[in-house]
């Protein structure tokens, strides 16, 4: 197959731990041709054809010099067997435009993973509202008075922006916090930007689990991202420690409940964030943690993903 990956700049990817690189290497191992381009390389040409300046890649095991560009060509996206969207958030205006171009490409016969319309519809914070039976008490608003009332009701609350990733712009606030008004002013941009407030889940102390679903089926191990001392965020980007572990009964329950809906919506690769018994995020843009699970448990979720593309 010819598989094109939409990525951030290739030289920014940390090959020793990056799930996209792991997928690319697995694809090459299985005899497929791998290509890459950035969002800015896409264009709608005369007649409405969606195309991109695409680089064909030669991969190496060396994590420092892990790729070489073997050639470049303007290529219509429908000429690839799969176009895998792996651009990291933030989901800004340019990201939105990219999904609109990808939807046009799908209409021309391109197979985009994950489906472009679902990348738009599944805000990674708000998507949990599709599955309310697994949510902790949650509020979304830009009205600071509503957030203050929510904090008064639940005492310990997490406040986070709707377009963040990697643990950025996440605050734990309680009703006695002297800085809580200042935090809400900053988070909501003085009441002009909607945020999410969630009742704090103490089980974060034993890990914010990333549960990977591929074609609706859960990888048998999660990566529990355990906060470092003095932190309430388990994200690896914030110094959390990743510990691979077998899925719990509750993890399986959540995954099995969500799987059919995600597949129906064209979401082949999804990363669920689970803290304790609660679903906290549905990550659809560029879910990670494949490498850590492979290194600790030997389970190759990148191979499972490429098999899903082959099927």
Q: Apex CA 17: angle with CA 39 and CA 34, to 5°?
A: 45
The helix, strand and coil proportions of the chain, stated in percent and rounded to the nearest 5, come to: 35, 30, 35
Annotated catalytic residue, options 210, 235, 251, 292 = 210
273 is catalytic: yes
Annotated catalytic residue, options 26, 225, 251, 292 = 225
Annotated catalytic residue, options 18, 208, 251, 281 = 281
146 is catalytic: no
Q: Report d(CA 138, CA 150) in Å as an integer.
A: 9
Annotated catalytic residue, options 25, 86, 87, 125 = 125
| Among 110, 161, 166, residue whose Cα is nearest residue 286 | 166
Q: Helix (H) and strand (E) counts for the chain?
A: 8, 17
Annotated catalytic residue, options 18, 26, 124, 273 = 273
25 is catalytic: no
Annotated catalytic residue, options 25, 87, 160, 161 = 160
Cβ distance 127 to 197 under 8 Å? no
Q: Report d(CA 59, CA 56) in Å as an integer.
A: 10
Cβ distance 172 to 156 under 8 Å? yes
160 is catalytic: yes
Q: Where are the alpha helices (DSSP H) in the chain?
A: 19-29, 93-107, 116-121, 144-154, 180-187, 249-264, 290-297, 301-310
Annotated catalytic residue, options 25, 86, 180, 233 = 233
233 is catalytic: yes
| Widest pairwise Cα distance in the chain | 61
**Tokens 């922006």 identify what position?**
161
| Among 15, 18, 27, residue whose Cα is nearest residue 290 | 18
125 is catalytic: yes
Annotated catalytic residue, options 114, 123, 235, 283 = 283
> How, if at all, do strands 50-59 and 67-76 pair?
antiparallel
Question: Active-site residue numbers?
Answer: 125, 160, 210, 225, 233, 273, 281, 283
């Amino acid at each position: 197959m010819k598989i094109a990956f939409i990525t951030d700049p290739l030289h920014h990817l940390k090959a020793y731990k990056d799930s996209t690189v792991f997928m690319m290497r697995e694809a090459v191992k299985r005899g497929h041709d791998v290509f890459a381009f950035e969002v800015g390389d896409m264009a709608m040409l005369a007649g409405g054809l969606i195309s991109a300046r695409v680089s064909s890649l030669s991969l190496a095991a060396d994590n420092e010099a892990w790729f070489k560009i073997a050639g470049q060509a303007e290529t219509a996206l429908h000429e690839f067997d799969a176009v895998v969207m792996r651009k990291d958030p933030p989901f800004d205006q340019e990201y939105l435009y990219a999904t609109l171009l990808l939807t046009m490409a799908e209409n021309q016969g391109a197979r985009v993973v994950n489906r472009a319309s679902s990348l738009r519809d599944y805000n990674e914070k708000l998507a949990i509202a599709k599955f309310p039976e697994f949510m902790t008490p949650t509020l979304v608003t830009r009205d600071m008075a509503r957030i203050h009332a929510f904090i008064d009701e639940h005492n310990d609350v997490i406040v986070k922006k709707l377009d963040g990733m990697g643990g950025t712009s996440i605050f734990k606030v309680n009703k006695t916090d002297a800085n809580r008004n200042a935090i809400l002013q900053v988070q909501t941009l003085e009441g002009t930007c909607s945020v999410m407030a969630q009742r704090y889940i103490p089980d974060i102390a034993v890990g914010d689990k990333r549960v990977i679903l591929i074609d609706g089926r859960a990888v048998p191990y999660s990566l529990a991202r355990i906060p470092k001392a003095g932190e309430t965020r388990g994200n690896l980007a914030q110094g959390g420690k990743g510990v691979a572990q077998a899925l719990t009964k509750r993890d399986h329950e959540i995954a099995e409940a969500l799987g059919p809906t995600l597949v129906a919506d064209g979401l082949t690769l999804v990363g669920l964030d689970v803290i304790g018994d609660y679903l906290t995020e549905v990550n659809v843009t560029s879910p990670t943690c494949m490498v850590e699970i492979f290194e600790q448990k030997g389970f190759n979720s990148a191979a499972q993903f490429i098999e899903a593309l082959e099927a």
